[in-house]
Amino acid sequence: MAKHFFCSPSPSKNVKFREASFDLLTDFLVNLNKRNKDNINSLSKCSGNFRDKRLMEYIFLITKELRLDPLAGYHAIELLQRFMVKHLTDLLATPTPQGAAADQPRSYEDAVFEKLKEKFPFIVFTCVQIASKLSLHSHIIDNNTAVRFLHSVGHDVSKQALLESELMVLKGLEYKLNATNPLSFVEILLEVLGHNEPSIPVECLHLLSQHVLQFISLQRTAIYDSLLVTTTQCVSPPREQREKFVTVTEDCMLLGVGVIAVATFVLHNRKWEQIVGELSHITGISVRSIRDFAHVTLMHIVTST
């Protein structure tokens, strides 16, 4: 999918910019910044493990096929990441059942992963289904639609099994479904940009930003590896630096400004300096950091296309 970068993602909702009040935008931005910082400060060792390229591509294809808003796809990815980390932690923390072979300490772990492997496609789809119900602009995936879709891709599943999967995910997430979503960051930052500087063509930037965000999501590992090398000026950064860099890979605010900067460079190069400066002013992220992120992303876009 990444090679077809300019193919349209799922139809997006018709976002109307320049209609929110200054006070509302301020509240949105403060809340977004707080949630981003809270998320960065509470990262687990497994952060990002379920943002695998093939898995994200699978979710994007589901949202496209079912004509969901792209926001639902990104929300589903975040729900899946949170649920799987919690679910696996709980499963592997469970004491080994009596009777398990003492000379095969990994046999229980292997059995857990084998059983989870069977359920995983349904867990992924369940996260998409839940995300569709949380979006005001998406078609809600009811169980009839879900069963038909899963049958069409070779999965034999009943409505009861889907209900049980949904309940399992909801319980695993402790019904806390308001996950941070990178597309939300992009859209709110564009809204603030449009309010601060009416001459900035945020409506045009919005569509291309969706393509850029999808590209970065699918090329996530390669792009952030290049950014790490650029940041550290080290071709083979040591493990300690890679571990510390997780706070950068999970920074949705940096991702948001980087996406808009890339879209600006492609569409409105003359406004590049102005918009990058404004993004730095809005978020407190340095101009250099935004430039580095945009430069690395653009290099990967050129290489892949």
Residue 26 lies in a domain: no
Last residue of a domain, one of 125, 151, 172: 172
Residue 226 lies in a domain: yes
Query: What is the pLDDT at residue 3?
Result: 40
Residue 24 lies in a domain: no
Residue 231 lies in a domain: yes
Last residue of a domain, one of 125, 152, 172: 172
CATH number of the domain that 72 lies in? 1.10.472.10
Query: What is the pLDDT at residue 98?
Result: 54
Query: What is the pLDDT at residue 229?
Result: 93
Whether residue 155 is found in the same domain as residue 209: no
pLDDT tens for the chain, residues 1 to 305: 334 433 455 445 556 777 778 888 889 899 999 999 998 888 777 777 788 899 999 999 999 999 998 999 999 999 999 999 888 888 777 665 555 545 455 677 777 777 788 889 899 999 999 999 887 666 788 889 999 999 998 888 889 999 999 999 999 999 988 888 899 999 999 999 998 888 888 888 999 999 999 999 999 999 999 999 998 888 888 888 888 898 999 999 999 999 999 999 999 889 899 999 999 999 999 999 999 999 999 999 998 86
Query: What is the pLDDT at residue 138?
Result: 60
Whether residue 101 is found in the same domain as residue 120: yes
The total of structural domains in the chain comes to 2
What residues make up the domain containing 205?
180-304
Last residue of a domain, one of 143, 172, 201: 172
Residue 32 lies in a domain: no
Query: What is the pLDDT at residue 234?
Result: 84
- How many residues are there in the chain? 305
Residue 16 lies in a domain: no
